[in-house]
Structure 1
Amino acid sequence: MIEIPAVSSAYDAAWEEHGHLRAAVEHVRGWVAARGLPGARCDVVQLDGRAPLLLVDVPATPGAAAGGTVLLYGHLDKQPPLGDWSEGLGPWQAVIRDDRLYGRGAADDGYSGYAATTALEAVRGAGGEHARAVVLLETGEESGSPDLPAYLEHLADRLGEVSLVVCLDGGGGDYERLWLTSSLRGAVQATVTVRVLETGVHSGLGSGIVPSSFRIMRRLLDRVEDPETGEVKLPEMVVPIPEERRAEAAQLVALHPEVAVPRFPLLPGMRRASGDDVELVLNNTWRPTLSVTGAGGLPDPAVAGAVLRAWTSFRLSFRLPPSADAEAARAALETILTTDVPYGAQVEVGDYMVMNGWHVPAAAPWLASALRQVGEDVFGKPCQSLGIGGGIPFMEMLGRRYPQAQFVVTGALGADSNAHVPDEWLHIPFAVQVTEAVAHLLDAHARAGGHPPQN
């Protein structure tokens, strides 16, 4: 699977012609089919012009109580190689060193289909029970899952009434316990271009007469972000932080300070945004932030001439709180950047990527009990919940479609697994434990009948 360069469609305009996404789906389909799960049906589904997905439908065991469908989610598309990998490693080369499996997609999250299938096998092998289970592996997650709404609509009748969702695209801060994702941020990305001239002019002749497009861009950004604190000013991007999430952040900092706030490689003398770790956790999980992730119209300093440039373009990436309305945030952003523009400059805002966040519902008694048991029996330590600064579009879509379902967002991705960057690796023993934990949860769900939480 690692050897297939299944780069997500956002990074490969000719993805359909190259056929790598389809090859990844077919490869995993063949593996699952060969496992011989009783009654399992493995289908490759592809709508016109959309990236394919794999749907594995496994009937319930005979002794399972009626309780709806379990949906196990993962994705098979990958990030680009990105940079130089260490000696002996490469993005499309599977290498095992000690307990690590190296290669692009190893931890994010090519293991998911294998883990889900193996967990179902393990339940049966141990004499346990599982409800009807559907393994859904898409190939567009790294592109923001643009095709998933169409597939969910197309497959709605086949999915049936989902009562438990297990997402294997998560992870945590260490390899000692099961980490549960309690929230995911949404996002609004947009490209903003400020134009002041038809063509650039000599800066000695034009400066002071023609306002700089960069200065106008600065003023526009000051409308949406406080330049001193980084606080995002748009009301549509701000929500009240739930008290249980504040308590969770405080607990995470108290019990796992090394996990709560990763120690990024800051330069000497560089300070973090706050000296309070709890506030840093909340900044990263429940407060909106802005990052400028790209720029255009700016030549390399080594070749920059004395030119008053005609335009400046920035790629803006807003991370939104889990419960913010991403479309309302997008509309507000466009309005504030294009209304009453300084000096009458032309402003274009487009190339949007809009994604809602997600907030986990309360755990039903059977699930809370099963998670406690998994912590004791599989890991020897209690499970730990935490919010994640990133997003998984699929979770918000499913949360809307199945409001009564229980959710377990977990996975084998560690804080140092190098997802999206060179030398990505999967911790094999931890992936085994996560798989075992999923098997226990499947059995607990089947025996409980998948009952929703009681009010």
Structure 2
Amino acid sequence: MTANPIAETVASLMPRARTELAELVSFRSVADPAVFPRSECEAAARWVADALRTEGFQEVSVLDTPDGTQSVHGLLAGPEGAPTVLLYAHYDVQPPLDEDAWVTPPFELTERDGRWYGRGAADCKGGFLMHLLALRALKANGGVPVNVKVIVEGSEEQGTGGLERYAEAHPELLAADAVVVGDTGNFRLGLPTVTATLRGMTMVRVSVDTLEGNLHSGQFGGAAPDALAALIRVLDSLRAEDGSTTVEGLPSDAVWDGLAYDEADFREDAKVLDGVGLIGEGTVSDRIWARPAVTVLGIDCPPVVGATPSIQASARATVSLRVPPGQDAAEATGLLISHIEKHTPWGARVAVEQVGQGQPFRADTSSPAYTAMADAMRVAYPGHEMQTSGMGGSIPLCNTLAELYPHAEILLIGLSEPEAQIHAVNESVSPEELERLSVSEALFLVNYARSKRPDDA
């Protein structure tokens, strides 16, 4: 990175950032009390609130949102007449999955091979540290030139909509001229990228019942309807032979017009086993950024160990459907439910409960904020121009912000580049990426403030 006072300051702050990220990662802040105690999320929220107060935020609040989780809000006043920028991150994380598969403990930040490993290191506790680093660098180099609002969510990974509902009830809370969502990532490590589109999401829980109770498979097998087999057939109906998502009535042939994702690179990033083919048709970019994608997230059924020769009376699954820009998540939910009900065999009783939903998002990349970010990234990543890509994941708050504040410019950046392996075991963050993106954000705030005061430029 070329010599720059802000860059030099951020570099000097990295040891402190590592210590703080280790503290934040240590909270098992999975927003599901069935997995970890609610107190873990509450402790993480307090840590975030204390960090904002330490940075001089005049107003810091821990908000109780309608889904039973907490979000942290803070306000740092800038110069009179300066624009307001909202910085977003979330402190809740995905469950660690198979803890035995982690090389090092998931809730202990551990340095290995130049990366920092731990659940939430990239998604998205590191995103909050990115915001702190940017603000600290600005304060050390003339001050923060904008009004800053920070919102750190407590249930983004669960998709339960607590912060969205709270914002809708308090529309003044997050009002801003520009929003930096620190929850995506560069297309490739070291390649500065803003995310232009997000797929939306709906989640449903499917319950199938066929019998009053389990039956002996020898005595009744062959005639008695098996609930688990019925559920498997329902789930199989959601994919074509090539693996493409096939929800009746839901278009699945859109084409991505933008940055191409090479299939060999995707196989390496996704760690696809040798000899195993990819699913779907079209380009990789089409499949992960422009088309719907169904995933079975979990099934309730007897485990292999301890299984008995029984016909199952009941079975249950959670199904996720990613919804691309241009499609409505509510309509997609209705089509998914209708499809499941139609394809349940043998007259089995089926109940479908929606447990989460978020709309897809498309940013206006022609706005002045994107020019300000491109200029900032050009400095933070010498020799590279800012790229735009899609992201197959969902950030439900983005659409809420776009609807509440139609004139706000929304940018998505973050630390979740492919090597970060977010949502998987051995999640990690590149400290170099954290450093460069913190510099990018700080310079963006300077550029954006200047763009709003052209007579003073």
Instruction: State TM-score, norm by structure 2.
Output: 0.84
1:54 corresponds to which of 65, 68, 72: 72
**8 Å Cα contact 2:259/2:388 also seen in 1:** no
The correspondence for 1:441, drawn from 430, 439, 444, is: 444
Note closer, same or farther for the CA distance 1:209–1:7 as it changes in structure 2 (3 Å cut): same
Tell me what 2:10 maps to: none
SS of alignment partner, residue 32 of structure 2? helix
2:31 is the alignment partner of 1:9: yes
2:86 to 47, 71, 86: 71
Is residue 418 of structure 1 aligned with residue 436 of structure 2?
no
Offset at residue 136 of structure 1 (A): 0.6
Cα distance between partner residues in 2 of 1:233 and 1:2: 40
Relative to structure 1, is the Cα distance of residues 148 and 249 closer, same or farther in structure 2, using a 3 angstrom cutoff?
same
The answer to whether the aligner puts 1:191 opposite 2:205 as a matched pair is: yes
The Cα of 1:219 is off from its aligned counterpart by 4.8
Q: What is the CA-CA distance between 1:88 and the residue it aligns to?
A: 7.8
- Find the aligned partners of 1:87 and 1:350 in 2 and give their Cα distance: 33
Confirm or deny that 1:230 pairs with 2:224.
no
Alignment of 1:171 with 2:185, yes or no, is yes
Alpha-carbon separation, structure 2, partners of 1:239 and 1:231: 7
Partner of 1:206: 220
Give the Cα–Cα distance (whole angstroms) in 2 for the partners of residues 450 and 316 of structure 1: 49
CA contact (8 A) 1:295 1:315 kept: yes
Change over 3 Å in CA distance of 1:128–1:373 after alignment to 2: farther
Deviation at 1:240, TM superposition (A): 6.9
**C-alpha displacement at 1:30, in angstroms?**
2.1
Q: Which runs of 5+ in 1 are unaligned?
A: none
Deviates further, 203-212 or 109-118: 203-212
- Matched to 1:191, the amino acid is R
Kindly provide the CA deviation profile for residues 20-63 of structure 1, in whole angstroms up to 9, marking residues without a partner as x.
222212222223322346xx33222235772222212011224x
Of 310, 313, 334, which aligns to 1:331? 334
Amino acid at match of 1:115: M
Question: What CA distance in whole angstroms lies between the structure 1 residues aligned with 2:205 and 2:440?
Answer: 42
User: Is the 1:184–1:357 Cα contact (8 Å) retained in structure 2?
Assistant: yes
Q: Which amino acid in structure 2 is aligned with residue 2 of structure 1?
A: L
Preserved CA contact (<8 Å) 1:249 1:282: no
Residues 179 and 267 from structure 1, CA distance in 2 versus in 1: closer, same or farther, beyond 3 angstroms? Answer: same
Deviation at 1:71, TM superposition (A): 0.8
State how 1:394-405 maps to structure 2 within 5 Å: 394-405=397-408
Cα distance, 1:2 vs. partner?
Answer: 3.2
- Give the counterpart letter for 1:280 in structure 2: V
Contact 1:128 1:443 in 2 (8 A): no
- Alpha carbons 1:120, 1:130 under 8 Å: kept: no
Query: Contact 1:4/1:23 (CA < 8 Å) preserved in 2?
Result: no
On the 8 A contact 2:171/2:404 being kept in 1, the answer is no
Amino acid at match of 1:9: A
Query: Structure 1 residues 327, 431: closer, same or farther in 2, change over 3 A?
Result: same
Match of 2:166 among 130, 143, 151: 151
| 8 Å contact kept, 2:26–2:109 | no
Report the counterpart of residue 196 of structure 2 in structure 1: 182
Deviation at 1:411, TM superposition (A): 0.8
**C-alpha displacement at 1:259, in angstroms?**
5.1
- Whether the 8 Å CA contact 1:43–1:54 is kept in 2: the answer is yes
Corresponding residue number in structure 1 for 2:117? 102
Partner in structure 1 of residue 365 of structure 2 = 362
Any idea what SS the aligned residue of 2:330 has?
helix
2:5 counterpart residue number:
none
**Aligned twin of 1:283:** 287
Counterpart secondary structure, 1:142: coil
- Counterpart in 1 of 2:321? 318
Q: CA deviation at 1:426?
A: 2.0
- 2:73 is equivalent to residue 27 of structure 1: no
Aligned residues: 431
Pair 1:295 & 2:299 matched: yes
Secondary structure, counterpart of 2:286 in structure 1: helix
- Conservation of the 8 A alpha-carbon contact between 1:180 and 1:384: yes
| Partner of residue 378, structure 2 | 376
Letter in structure 2 aligned against 1:279: T
User: How many percent of aligned residue pairs carry the same amino acid?
Assistant: 24
Local SS of the residue matching 1:194: strand
Q: 1:320 to 1:450 in 2, by over 3 A?
A: farther
TM-score normalized with structure 1 length: 0.84
1:238 shift after superposition: 2.6
Corresponding residue SS for 1:108: coil
What's the CA shift for 1:171? Answer: 0.8
Q: Deviations over 1:246-303 (max 9, x none)?
A: 23143x54xxx765564433334221226x8x61221111111222222233452x54
1:70-128 deviation per Cα after TM superposition (whole angstroms, max 9, x unaligned): 11000111222332368883223233446433322221111233322332333343337
Unaligned stretches of 5+ residues in structure 2:
1-22
Cα deviation, residue 224, structure 1: 4.1
Cα distance in 1, alignment partners of residues 314 and 426 from structure 2: 38
Distance 1:83 1:433, change over 3 A: same
1:408-434 deviations in Å (ceiling 9; x for gaps): 101122212232333332211211110
